[in-house]
Structure 1
Amino acid sequence: NRYKLIDQPLGKGANGIVSLAYDTTEKLLVAIKQINKTLTKDIQSMMREILIISKCHHENIISFKDYHEDAEFIYIIQELASGGELFRHIVKRKYYTEYHAKVFTRQLLSAVNYLHSNNVIHLDIKPENILLKQIPEDYDKNDYFKPIIKLSDFGLSQIFNPEIQLKQSGGTPGYAAPEVLRRQALDFKADIYSIGVVTHTLLTGQLPFNGYNPKEIVGNQLKNNWQFKMEISTEAQHFIKQCLEYDPCKRPSIQQLLRFDWLQMKGTKLIRELHLGREQLKRYLCIQKLRMGMQYVLLLLNESE
């Protein structure tokens, strides 16, 4: 009775939906992730997600509030990131530069650094899982407004133990590291690869890997077949190239990434408008919206059977 659902879906997935709700005790809006038990093959993974997020306390990680379950659903109550998805914010800005992309990337690195320091590998870092805490109505009047990002969705996350070989099936084509796609042994470097893809997409509005469908994208990932299609700074290119090293042993650690020149440099050198990248992002979001709609239809069909 503490949480009153509001008929406003915030997101949809293969196993359930995220809905808006009101916490009558704390007098604030929250997000409730409703997971359908009949559609979830691995309840143990779901409980691991709850364990991980309940112990995470970081400004750039979505905070856990409560957990409930009944015969049909598991309910995870979380902080509401009212600003929505990061990429949707970007396409609405009148002015978007490498400076802004760098601000977002720094926050993402801070969140992942916290996770890795606590032996957690996220394994699903992608644009849809990067939310914004809140956005004021007049944010576009301030070119240097810095939204706070929130890394979310720990459904694939794992606790790393160096004495146990870790393998992970799943992951998102285009963002998951090659060792994840090949179901090989993995470690923290899998997240570094995903950070590289997200940063590339932040700067160019498109994935590094061409492909008309997930199979083609994965094929190009496994061939390490990609190149920069837009002009961005040399420092940004170096950052992304290091993250996307095919061999995980050659990728930098999160601590090393934080010291890269691209993140340290200041001044006007990195201030360049990314109009083309923003237009590419609009197309990217249209495609993702279509895919999410298809997933939701499949969810409704499965529930009706």
Structure 2
Amino acid sequence: VSVQRKAASVQRKPSIRSRFIAESSRDIRDRYDLEKVAIGTGGYGFVYRATCRDTKDVFAVKAVWKYKIKDMPDLEKEIELTRMLDHPNVVRLFSTSQDEKQIYLVLELCEGGELFQKIVEAKKLAETQVATIMKQILRSICYLHGAGIVHRDLKPENFLFQSKGVPLEHNTLKLIDFGLSKFLAEGEVLENLVGSAPYVAPEVVARSSGRPCDLWSCGAIMYMMLSGAPPFTGMNDRQVFQKAKSEKPRLIGRLWEPVSEAAKDLIRRLLDADPASRITAEHALESDWIKGESADKAALDPEIVRNLHRFSSASRFKRTALIAVAHQLREDEVETLRASFNAMDK
């Protein structure tokens, strides 16, 4: 069954809550052997490596503390959406369960590490490798958008490599975390201001965003892999948002000299401040650079990897926080940005 048909029939499915009850007749530990040491942690709980007792297959089990769930309907929607997804570059959710204290999500195991972490470990990076990574990122977004879903929280931490010990260009990249994802009808806009500052599109700040906001985030990630720094910086999030709205990405300087013009052109099209003219995931996948026909094979400047290391290390301190722009900007500042953004359509 296609994702589109699944999405259309989502209202006819039993509720997540009822499925939790149906699947919790057996304790999670009756079916899986969970390792004692967590492989991941967050404000919600822990992630454990687990082996199915029946099949010996290995999974990741995400254990969510119920008392930490502020909005159960939101979690139910996230699980319902994630259940429907089936793509090589999107993490799979296989089953759910619960007990009195926790909800358990049995997920596809990704042991290769986060995107930037893996690049730092490799200690070097070539433009062709960036093109291969971006192809996988764009494929995941093309799939979501084709299903009428906008992710809204694309960032390096939400892309995991599947396997350990496999080179970047041969490893499979998986998109995770659909907590902010929404089904979106054609032409519909979202007014929530969410995301992580370096990857937030101008229209998100203007509270009028749709699928194109994901492509902006893709552009920011691509820019960072080719330069080691975000496309727009500032003393605070407000300055970052304002620069993203009013400035063009800087693509000159020593670190950019070896980067092909085809790569720079794709960055410009992804970081187009006007979502109406921003390139789509489908069209980006058709570019010569993504197809590997024009990417430079030489290694990029080693300073880029060092910069990524510094940036990703600093980002860990903010990792659990989502940027709620309503708390960063006064209402009059938001209105100014919104008016400036809307003027593009006139």
Q: TM-score range by the shorter chain?
A: 0.7 to 0.9
Match of 1:283 among 273, 289, 310: 310
Distance 1:10 1:250 in 2: 41
Q: Find the partner of 1:178 among 202, 210, 225.
A: 202
Report whether the alignment pairs 1:90 with 2:119.
Answer: yes
TM-score, length of structure 1 as denominator length = 0.85
Q: 1:215 to 1:75 in 2, by over 3 A?
A: farther
Tell me which of 196, 208, 221 is aligned to 2:244. 221
Residue aligning to 1:266: 293
Change (3 A) 1:145 1:262: closer
Q: RMSD over aligned Cα, in angstroms? A: 2.4
The Cα offsets for residues 125-183 of structure 1, whole Å up to 9 and x where unpaired, read as 110011001023xx56xxx8511101111111111123754333321111122222332
CA drift of 1:219 comes to: 3.9
**Structure 1 segments (4+ residues) deviating >4 Å:** none
TM-score, structure 2 normalization: 0.76
Q: Aligned residue for 1:300?
A: none
1:269 deviates by 3.8
Q: Secondary structure at the match of 1:9?
A: coil
Provide the aligned length of Structure 1 versus Structure 2.
Answer: 288
Residue 265 of structure 2 corresponds to: 238
Change (3 A) 1:263 1:93: same
Match of 1:196 among 209, 213, 219: 219
CA contact (8 A) 1:21 1:30 kept: yes
**Secondary structure in 2 aligned to 1:150?**
strand
Alpha-carbon distance between aligned partners in 2 of 1:83 and 1:265, rounded to the nearest angstrom: 23
Distance 1:240 1:21, change over 3 A: same
Aligned match of 1:111: 140
The yes-or-no answer on 1:8 pairing with 2:37 is: yes
Establish whether residue 29 from structure 1 lines up as the match of residue 58 from structure 2: yes
Please state if 1:247 is matched with 2:274.
yes
> 5+ unaligned residues in a row in structure 1: which ranges?
296-305
Separation of aligned partners in 2, 1:289 and 1:163: 35
Q: Cα distance, 1:2 vs. partner? A: 1.4
Aligned to 1:153: 177
Match of 1:302 in 2: none
- Residues of 1 paired with 2:37 and 2:301: CA distance? 33
- Deviation, 1:242, is 0.8
Alpha-carbon distance between aligned partners in 1 of 2:71 and 2:207, rounded to the nearest angstrom? 17
* Distance 1:35-1:254 versus aligned 2 partners, 3 A rule: same
Provide the C-alpha distance between the structure 1 equivalents of 2:240 and 2:47, rounded to a whole number of angstroms: 28
Q: Which has the larger radius of gyration?
A: 2
User: Is 1:54 equivalent to 2:83 in the alignment?
Assistant: yes
Note if 1:122 corresponds to 2:145: no
Counterpart of 1:285, as a letter, is: S
Q: Percent identity?
A: 28
Q: Could you tell me how far 1:115 is from its partner in structure 2? A: 1.1
More strand by share: 1
C-alpha displacement of 1:261: 2.8
CA contact (8 A) 2:65 2:103 kept: yes
Q: Does the 8 Å CA contact 1:20/1:29 hold for their aligned counterparts?
A: yes
Write the distance in 2 (CA, Å) between the matches of 1:160 and 1:281.
Answer: 33
1:212: how far off?
A: 4.3
Distance change in 2, residues 1:268/1:98 (3 Å): closer
SS at match of 2:35: strand
Bigger shift: residues 267-276 or 80-89: 267-276
Q: Is the aligned partner of 1:81 residue 2:81?
A: no
Q: By how many angstroms is 1:60 displaced?
A: 0.8
Aligned mates of 1:121, 1:50 — CA distance in 2: 15
